Amino acid sequence: MATQRLDKVTALNCSVSRRDARKLIKEGRVSVNGGVALRAETEIDTENDKISVDGVNYEIKEHVYIMMNKPSGVISASEDKNKTTVVDLVPPELVRKSLFPAGRLDRDTTGLIIITDDGAFTHRLLSPSHHVYKRYIAKLDAPLGEESVKRLEEGILLEDGTQCLPARVKPFEENGEPFAQIEIREGKYHQVKRMTAACGSHVVELRRVKIGALCLDESLAPGECREMTEEELSLIFED
C-alpha cells in the first residue's frame, strides 16, 4: 500500500502549497473518505482513499505527466534566473512542487516534451537500454545521401570520438527542401544536430514529434500543454 501524509496529498492534488494545505486541514475543510480530517500527518492510502476539499472531490495522483508542445526560445529546465523554462509555461492548475522536463530539448528545438515529477519514469524514458526511440523531424541545409543514411543507421562515430547508437533515418523532401525523419534512443548533447553535421548536412530546424509510440498532440499550440491520459502514458514504452 502506497501512503502519503494528508498535507502532502492535499498540496499535490489540489494545487495549493503545503502551508495552505495545512491551513485547509486545520479549518476542517478537508475530508478523507467522507469524514473531516484534522491532522496533517494522517497517512493516506494513495490508491484507495478519497479526499475532498470544501465538498469537491479530488483524484489522488502520485505523479503528474504533462505533454507540452515546446516553443522555440524556451529552455528545458525547471527554473532559471533569466530565461523562460518549460516549467514556467505550465498553467497553475497543473503546477506541482517538483516538476521537471523528462529530458532536454535545445532552446531552439520545438515539439514534444514531457514534464513530470516522476524520477523513476524519467530514468526509464531516457536510459538507452530501455530502447525508447524519440522521433525528430529535421529540416536540413543539404540532403542526406545514401552513404550518410547508412553511416547513421549503423551508429555514427562523431569527430570528438562520441559513438552513437544505430539510428532510424528517412530522408525526404518538402517543397523542394531537404528534411529527414531521425529516430534515436539516446539523448547526447545536440545529438541530432551533431549526427547530421558529421555527414555534411546541418540542421536548420528541429522538431520532436514522437516518443515511443506517443505522438505530439498537434492541436496544442506552441507553449500549450495538457495532462496526459493513462493510455498515452502507456504508449511511451510500447513502440
105 binds ligand URA (CB under 6 A): yes
Q: Which residues lie below 8 Å from residue 81, measured CB to CB, with a gap of 6+? A: none
The residue whose grid cell reads 503528474 is 64
192 binds ligand URA (CB under 6 A): yes
- E strands within the chain? 3-5, 30-32, 35-36, 43-45, 51-53, 56-58, 65-70, 100-101, 110-116, 134-140, 168-174, 177-184, 203-211, 214-215, 225-227
99 binds ligand URA (CB under 6 A): no
CB of 93 to ligand URA, least distance (A): 28
Q: Considering only residues 4, 46, 110, 191, which one is a binding residue for ligand URA as defined by CB under 6 A?
A: 191
226 binds ligand URA (CB under 6 A): no
164 binds ligand URA (CB under 6 A): no
CA–CA distance, 23 with 25 (Å, rounded to integer) = 5
Backbone angles phi and psi of 180, in degrees to 5:
-150, 140
85 binds ligand URA (CB under 6 A): no
Q: Strand, coil or helix: what is 85?
A: strand
* 105 or 236: CB nearest ligand URA: 105
Grid cell locating 12: 499535490
196 binds ligand URA (CB under 6 A): no
Find the part of the chain contacting ligand URA (CB under 6 A) among 18-26, 42-50, 144-152, 187-195: 187-195
CA–CA distance, 56 with 80 (Å, rounded to integer) = 35
Strands 225-227 and 65-70: antiparallel
Q: Which residues are catalytic?
A: 106
Q: Considering only residues 32, 74, 206, 228, which one is a binding residue for ligand URA as defined by CB under 6 A?
A: 206
CB of 127 to ligand URA, least distance (A): 16
Q: Considering only residues 109, 110, 116, 148, which one is a binding residue for ligand URA as defined by CB under 6 A?
A: 109
190 binds ligand URA (CB under 6 A): yes
Q: How many residues bind ligand URA (CB under 6 A)?
A: 8
106 binds ligand URA (CB under 6 A): yes
Q: Which helix (H) or strand (E) holds 123?
A: helix 119-126
CA–CA distance, 122 with 99 (Å, rounded to integer) = 11
Find the part of the chain contacting ligand URA (CB under 6 A) among 87-95, 104-112, 120-128, 226-234: 104-112
CA–CA distance, 202 with 193 (Å, rounded to integer) = 7
168 binds ligand URA (CB under 6 A): no
Q: Considering only residues 63, 193, 220, 226, which one is a binding residue for ligand URA as defined by CB under 6 A?
A: 193
Query: Which stretches of the chain bind ligand URA, using CB under 6 A?
Result: 105-106, 109, 190-193, 206
